[in-house]
Amino acid sequence: MIIEHGDTIISSEIFSSHFVCNLDACKGACCIEGERGAPLEQDEIKLIEERLDQIKPFMSPQGIGLLESEGFHEGDEIGDLATTCLPTGECVFAVRENGRLGCAIEKAYRAGKTDFYKPVSCHLYPIRIGKTGRFESLNYHKWSICHAACSLGEELKVPVFRFLKESLIRKYGTEWYEELESIYVEFLALEEKGDI
């Protein structure tokens, strides 16, 4: 089921599926798995460039080497931008700590060194954003490495969109999110009546 909400088109799977990141189980596998690095929005290139001096102290030596030789992003300006990756697969900003991968950008933010949290595509995962005409489409991305997150979300009964409340507000604003909560209530009522 597809739901139109403002300038977005939303898959109802963000209501019906459950998800809570379980880093103890996955060890931050999303920072290394996959065919490419983290998707980037065009304006994020400049935001990261302007903060590299603050982010670099939190990066791995290998990440800094890649940054200096190839830069931190690849792709073009038509929506195919992503972070560069090491030959071993890690995102240029991935750092290993206590047996799991984390993000140097996020670490710099949490240390109060920058005001940029991390790429919104990472913050919004497992939602992936696409374009459908004038709309942005929000779809639930299923990935085998997140099996533990799905199990934990199911156990705690946390729908995907509620797990991502902070990142959805960051992307679309508080009013948009509050309206999404109202849509969810309507969705549950239709589901209970068997109309979905």
84-119 tens-digit pLDDT:
999 999 999 999 998 999 999 999 999 999 999 999
pLDDT score of 77: 59
Q: Residue 9: pLDDT above 70?
A: yes
Contact indicator for 3, 186 with CB cutoff of 8 Å: no
**Distance in angstroms (rounded) separating the CA atoms of residues 5 and 182:** 11
Distances (CA, A) of 193 to 3, 101, 188: 18, 44, 9
- Give me 155's structure tokens: 């156990």
Q: Residue 41: pLDDT above 80?
A: yes
- The verdict on pTM exceeding 0.95 is no
| Helix %, strand %, coil % of the chain (to 5) | 45, 20, 35
Residue type, 113: K
Lowest mean pLDDT among 95-99, 162-166, 174-178: 95-99
